[in-house]
């Protein structure tokens, strides 16, 4: 990791927004209670979480011990037995909340404009049926199931069906390539893949089944592939292995009692980018994740029975797992799901959906907000948006300008904004305003959620004084935390617990102001946040060097007004190869094939050689400066070959 020793924070934002008294009066967590929660958690954070778990989640067998913490391995609610699909479905059909039976669980809109509403009873029935289908295809408790689907209700049904029988799902975002899917299938040894013929994206069909065919070709642990008919494009079905969803669901029984699962039973694996070329399978388990996502959903999004909640994230990312499906359904709330792009058929699609369904809570990414800003206010103003009452953001730091625009143009100055900081690894939100209790400052994710403990430290791991930049660490375990990296405990230790003694290293830079507000400053490791998608520089580098003509590659992030960070690649070629526009195009396409369109380099520059230190390390800091077009390139005294630098600058893309 080549990080500057001191992280300088340059953002100075003074504006403060107080929650509206009307909002405070109706809030799920009011200021006095919020303060009490923080005190309670500081006194005894285990007891704090245990209380919340008792209030908000249902268990077949109570736990014996709240937390078993053997650094860096945590077990939460030890000895307890529960089931997430039970908490998301069955408990809304029976007992005091049985009236929710016919309440909308999922309101779905397809990109072409088709729609479906699944009530809690509908969803329960479909989940039970699909759980039986999985079983009849030999999927057992603990088996891994890959899900590679468009944003259609069957995706949520498949996940919940896995949790019902204790199978572990591994959802792979539909924008990833066949190669990326193959790697993930092999790493987790998934026995079954659930997919669709295709999905709609900007009027085009994303050929999902075709990618699955490539991914499971040859030697593969996959025994069965279940295919939803969505786009009705022609696909090939392999006899004995591939089955249509509608065929296998046809006669499936609607009776499937939820498995009574140990609190620490694995729930899902979600691959994310780390600091090496190989994505890591983040492992989450049942009880702690359920408690964390349920409680944070209820209080941070102030969920009420009559809310219509829309999180625009794809379920292929952690945000979709936790806040399209699990946390929202566990509260018996209504979750909106949209299949397609925000600019199809027009750039006001999101606002049209908000008005159409009366969305009350809207949760999206800063990169989307900046895009809407660029498209222009007039597209927003065509719609009333009067149903909205609360807004949220996630995925990257939000610049104050975008925050203010979101507040003014989308929220009409009347909706609180919750800027929520968290990670795939954390399972749920950790740093966030509570909308009825916390004054917000544009650009700050504000304070830790009660029961969460964070600090900003220097290189030596010592806490830094207020307003000084440093590394964000988490000093105590929390219920939704990752339990490890699938099949690689050593890497788990190494990546999160070795940088600073005894604490979890987030990989983010931050400063904390004198009011205890956190200001996130982006990644300080080799991970980039590109348009809200998490990518690793190393992963893209290994994709590039896997091309026969590439000798070496270095990838860095550079600032971008819309995407936050854009991908800049520097490539040196094998001796006989000549750089050309065609080759540039081919190499960018090669990255798309290896990883997916999300990783396509924005800039690709050819260089005779890459700048290295005398010890052979690529000077990324220097490349970052060059990529950003900065004239001063900092300290180059350790540079191996000065002429490389001059040639790199000349190579700038026309
Ligand atoms: C960044 C997404 C600033 C951060 C849930 C983190 C944020 C990474 C925020 C995790 C925020 C997420 N403010 N930065 N509100 N939320 N991040 O795993 O760098 O896709 O480490 O999880 O996104 O990305 P991931």
Task: Indicate which atom in ligand 1 lies nearest the CA of residue 506.
Answer: 21
- From ligand 1's centre to the CA of 275, what distance in Å? 15
Pocket of ligand 1 (CB under 6 A): 272, 317-319, 394-397, 419-424, 445, 506-508, 520, 522-523, 529, 534
Structure tokens at 569: 């690649």
- From ligand 1's centre to the CA of 367, what distance in Å? 12
- From ligand 1's centre to the CA of 29, what distance in Å? 24
Task: Indicate which atom in ligand 1 lies nearest the CA of residue 397.
Answer: 3
The pLDDT of 588-596, averaged and rounded, is 94
Task: Indicate which atom in ligand 1 lies nearest the CA of residue 445.
Answer: 15
Residue nearest atom 24 in ligand 1 by C-alpha distance: 423
Does residue 221 carry a pLDDT above 90? Answer: yes
What is the Cα–Cα distance from 288 to 607, expressed in whole angstroms? 49
In 3D space, the residue among 402, 413, 407, 398 whose CA is nearest the CA of residue 444 turns out to be: 398
Q: What is the pLDDT of residues 235-277, one digit of tens each?
A: 999 999 999 999 999 999 999 999 999 999 999 999 998 777 7
Residue nearest atom 8 in ligand 1 by C-alpha distance: 423
- From ligand 1's centre to the CA of 523, what distance in Å? 9
Residue nearest atom 22 in ligand 1 by C-alpha distance: 423
The pLDDT of 548-556, averaged and rounded, is 92
- From ligand 1's centre to the CA of 314, what distance in Å? 15
- From ligand 1's centre to the CA of 395, what distance in Å? 4
Residue nearest atom 13 in ligand 1 by C-alpha distance: 397
The CA angle 463-506-406, to the nearest 5 degrees, is 100
Task: Indicate which atom in ligand 1 lies nearest the CA of residue 425.
Answer: 18
The confidence score (pLDDT) of residue 619 equals 81
Q: What is the pLDDT of residues 179-215, one digit of tens each?
A: 999 999 999 999 999 999 999 999 999 999 999 999 9
CATH number of the structural domain 1-63+287-524: 3.40.50.12780
Residue nearest atom 10 in ligand 1 by C-alpha distance: 423
Residue nearest atom 6 in ligand 1 by C-alpha distance: 423
The confidence score (pLDDT) of residue 608 equals 83
pLDDT confidence bin for 640, thresholds 50/70/90: low
Does residue 4 carry a pLDDT above 60? Answer: no
Residue nearest atom 3 in ligand 1 by C-alpha distance: 397
Structure tokens at 48: 């704090």
* Equal CATH topology for 1-63+287-524 and 531-650: no
Instruction: Give me the chain's average pLDDT, please.
Output: 93
The pLDDT of 325-348, averaged and rounded, is 97
Task: Indicate which atom in ligand 1 lies nearest the CA of residue 522.
Answer: 19
Does residue 281 carry a pLDDT above 50? Answer: yes
Superfamily of domain 531-650, CATH level 4:
ANL, C-terminal domain (3.30.300.30)
Mutation pick for ligand 1 pocket among 173, 420, 422 (CB with most ligand atoms within 8 Å): 422
The pLDDT of 68-92, averaged and rounded, is 98
- From ligand 1's centre to the CA of 104, what distance in Å? 30
Mutation pick for ligand 1 pocket among 313, 421, 445, 456 (CB with most ligand atoms within 8 Å): 421
Sign of CA dihedral 136, 141, 145, 149: positive
The pLDDT of 278-287, averaged and rounded, is 94
- From ligand 1's centre to the CA of 308, what distance in Å? 24
Q: pTM for this structure?
A: 0.92
Beta bridge partners of 392: 363, 418
What is the Cα–Cα distance from 583 to 570, expressed in whole angstroms? 13
The confidence score (pLDDT) of residue 532 equals 83
Task: Indicate which atom in ligand 1 lies nearest the CA of residue 272.
Answer: 18
CA dihedral 508, 630, 8, 407 (to 10 degrees): -70
Structure tokens at 314: 């794809």
The confidence score (pLDDT) of residue 1 equals 41
The confidence score (pLDDT) of residue 268 equals 98
Does CATH place domain 111-262 in 3.40.50.300? no
For 645, how many CA atoms within 13 A lie in the half-sphere containing its CB?
25
Does residue 643 carry a pLDDT above 70? Answer: no
- From ligand 1's centre to the CA of 575, what distance in Å? 40
The confidence score (pLDDT) of residue 653 equals 44
The confidence score (pLDDT) of residue 491 equals 95
- From ligand 1's centre to the CA of 239, what distance in Å? 43
Task: Indicate which atom in ligand 1 lies nearest the CA of residue 423.
Answer: 22
- From ligand 1's centre to the CA of 396, what distance in Å? 5
Q: What is the pLDDT of residues 627-636, one digit of tens each?
A: 988 644 455 5
- From ligand 1's centre to the CA of 140, what distance in Å? 34
- From ligand 1's centre to the CA of 470, what distance in Å? 16
The confidence score (pLDDT) of residue 456 equals 98
Angle at which helices 178-188 and 208-215 cross, to 10°: 50
Q: By percentage, how much of the chain surpasses pLDDT 90? A: 85
pLDDT confidence bin for 2, thresholds 50/70/90: very low
Beta bridge partners of 281: 271
The pLDDT of 542-557, averaged and rounded, is 92
What is the Cα–Cα distance from 504 to 220, expressed in whole angstroms? 35
The pLDDT of 150-163, averaged and rounded, is 98
- From ligand 1's centre to the CA of 544, what distance in Å? 26
- From ligand 1's centre to the CA of 422, what distance in Å? 5
The more confident residue out of 531 and 438 is 438
What residue has token string 């039973």? 265
CA distances from 495 to 279, 427, 509, 595, 629 (A): 12, 17, 16, 22, 31
Task: Indicate which atom in ligand 1 lies nearest the CA of residue 534.
Answer: 20
Structure tokens at 40: 């309670």
The confidence score (pLDDT) of residue 649 equals 64
- From ligand 1's centre to the CA of 421, what distance in Å? 6
Please name the residue ranges forming H helices in 430-475.
none
Residue nearest atom 1 in ligand 1 by C-alpha distance: 396
Does residue 650 carry a pLDDT above 80? Answer: no
Q: What is the pLDDT of residues 124-135, one digit of tens each?
A: 999 999 999 999
The confidence score (pLDDT) of residue 3 equals 42
What is the Cα–Cα distance from 268 to 293, expressed in whole angstroms? 14
CA dihedral 37, 38, 44, 49 (to 10 degrees): 50
The confidence score (pLDDT) of residue 198 equals 97
Mutation pick for ligand 1 pocket among 272, 363, 367, 396 (CB with most ligand atoms within 8 Å): 396
The confidence score (pLDDT) of residue 525 equals 86
Residue nearest atom 25 in ligand 1 by C-alpha distance: 423
The more confident residue out of 296 and 11 is 296
Task: Indicate which atom in ligand 1 lies nearest the CA of residue 420.
Answer: 15
Residue 361: φ, ψ to 5° = -125, 130
Q: Residues in the chain, how many?
A: 654
Strands 266-272 and 280-285: antiparallel
- From ligand 1's centre to the CA of 522, what distance in Å? 8
Choice among 1-10, 221-230, 427-436, 531-540 with the minimum mean pLDDT: 1-10
Does residue 10 carry a pLDDT above 80? Answer: no
Domain layout of the chain by residue ranges: 1-63+287-524, 111-262, 531-650
Residue 371 CB: number of other CB atoms within 10 A?
Answer: 17
CB-CB contact of 511 with 251 (8 Å): no
Structure tokens at 237: 């079905």
Please name the residue ranges forming H helices in 218-342.
245-250, 286-300, 318-320, 327-330
The pLDDT of 383-388, averaged and rounded, is 98
Residue nearest atom 14 in ligand 1 by C-alpha distance: 396
Mutation pick for ligand 1 pocket among 3, 311, 394 (CB with most ligand atoms within 8 Å): 394
């Amino acid at each position: 990791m080549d990080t500057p020793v001191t992280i300088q924070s340059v953002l100075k934002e003074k504006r403060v927004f107080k929650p509206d008294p009307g909002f405070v009066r109706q809030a799920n967590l009011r200021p006095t209670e919020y303060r009490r929660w923080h005190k309670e958690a500081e006194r005894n954070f285990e007891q704090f979480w245990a209380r919340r778990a008792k209030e908000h989640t249902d268990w077949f067998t109570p736990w014996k011990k709240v937390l078993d913490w053997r650094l860096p391995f945590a077990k939460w609610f030890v000895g307890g037995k529960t089931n997430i699909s039970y908490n998301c479905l069955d408990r809304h059909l029976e007992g005091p909340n049985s009236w929710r039976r016919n309440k909308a669980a999922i309101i779905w809109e397809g990109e072409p404009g088709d729609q479906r509403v699944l009530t809690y009873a509908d969803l329960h029935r479909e989940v039970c049926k699909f759980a039986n289908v999985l079983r009849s295809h030999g999927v057992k408790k603990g088996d891994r199931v890959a899900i590679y689907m468009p944003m259609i209700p069957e995706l949520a049904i498949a996940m919940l069906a896995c949790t019902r029988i204790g199978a572990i799902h591994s959802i792979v975002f539909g924008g990833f390539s066949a190669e990326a899917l193959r790697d993930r299938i092999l790493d987790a040894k998934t026995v079954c893949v659930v997919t669709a013929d295709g999905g709609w994206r900007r009027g085009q069909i994303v050929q999902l089944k075709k990618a699955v065919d490539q991914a499971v070709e040859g030697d593969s642990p996959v025994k069965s592939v279940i295919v939803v008919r969505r786009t009705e494009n022609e696909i090939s079905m392999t006899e004995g292995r591939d089955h249509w969803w509608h065929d296998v669901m046809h006669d499936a029984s609607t009776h499937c009692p939820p498995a009574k699962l140990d609190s620490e039973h694995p729930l899902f694996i979600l691959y994310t980018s780390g600091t090496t070329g190989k994505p890591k399978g983040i492992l989450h388990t049942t009880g702690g994740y359920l408690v964390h996502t349920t409680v944070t959903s209820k209080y941070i999004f102030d969920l009420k029975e009559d809310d219509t909640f829309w999180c625009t994230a794809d379920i292929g990312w952690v945000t979709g797992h936790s806040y399209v499906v699990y946390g929202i359904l566990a509260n018996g709330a209504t979750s909106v799901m949209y299949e397609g792009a925000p600019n199809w058929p027009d750039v006001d699609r999101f606002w049209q959906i908000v008005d159409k369904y009366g969305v009350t809570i809207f949760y999206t990414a800063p990169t989307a907000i900046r895009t809407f800003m660029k498209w222009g206010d007039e597209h927003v103003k065509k719609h009333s948006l009067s149903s909205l009452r609360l807004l949220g953001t996630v995925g990257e730091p939000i610049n104050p300008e975008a925050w203010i625009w979101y507040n003014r143009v989308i929220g009409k100055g009347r909706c609180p904004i919750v800027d929520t900081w968290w990670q795939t690894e954390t399972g749920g939100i950790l740093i966030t305003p509570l909308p009825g209790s916390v004054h917000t400052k544009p650009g700050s994710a504000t304070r830790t959620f009660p029961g969460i403990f964070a600090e900003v430290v220097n290189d030596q791991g010592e806490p830094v004084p207020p307003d000084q930049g440093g590394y964000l660490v988490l000093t105590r375990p929390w219920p939704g935390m990752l339990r490890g990296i699938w099949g690689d405990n050593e890497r788990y230790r190494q990546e999160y617990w070795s940088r600073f003694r005894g604490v979890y290293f987030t990989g983010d830079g931050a400063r904390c102001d004198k009011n205890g507000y956190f200001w996130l400053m982006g990644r300080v490791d080799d991970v980039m946040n590109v348009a809200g998608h998490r990518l690793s520089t190393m992963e893209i580098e290994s994709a590039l060097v896997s091309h026969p003509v590439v000798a070496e590659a270095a990838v860095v992030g550079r600032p971008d007004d819309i995407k936050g960070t854009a991908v800049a690649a520097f490539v040196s070629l094998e001796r006989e190869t000549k750089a050309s526009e065609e080759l540039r195009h081919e190499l960018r396409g090669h990255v798309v094939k290896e990883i997916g369109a999300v990783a396509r380099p924005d800039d690709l520059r050819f260089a005779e050689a890459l700048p290295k230190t005398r010890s052979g390390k690529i000077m990324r800091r220097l490349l970052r400066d060059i990529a950003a077009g900065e004239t001063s390139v900092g300290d180059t005294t350790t540079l191996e070959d000065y002429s490389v630098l001059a040639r790199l600058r000349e190579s700038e893309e026309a």
